[in-house]
Amino acid sequence: MTEIADHDAYIAAAPEQFQPSLRHLRELLARTLPDAEEIMAYNMPGFRIGDTIVAGYAAFSKQCGLYVQGGCYQPVFRTHRDCRSQGSQDRCHLLAT
């Protein structure tokens, strides 16, 4: 598996249809979590505060995912107009439309 260096490289390598959503998620998370550091963990972009990864996002073949540490998700989900939650309350899958 090839190591992805940073958020920009991850978004550039993602399926084209999801790149706008990934850029939007990154901007939204950066605004929502101004004290967080952008990191790459397990080849997935994330945001860390201290020793805790508080949020991350990923692209797959048919969807994007937003993964937020419990308790942090409500402000993020409320401000992302395209978020349709599926599964648990700390996960949001953005489906291609």
pLDDT tens digits for range 1-54 = 578 999 999 999 999 999 999 999 999 999 989 999 999 998 999 999 999 899
Instruction: Measure the CA–CA gap between 72 and 84, rounded to whole angstroms.
Output: 17
Do the Cβ atoms of 72 and 79 come closer than 8 Å? no
pLDDT of residue 70: 65
pTM: 0.73
Fold that domain 7-95 belongs to in CATH: Aspartate Aminotransferase, domain 1 (3.90.1150)
CA torsion angle 48 78 65 51 (round to 10): 10
pLDDT bracket for residue 89 (50, 70, 90): very low
Does residue 41 or residue 94 have the better pLDDT?
41
List the helix and strand counts (H, then E) for the chain.
3, 5
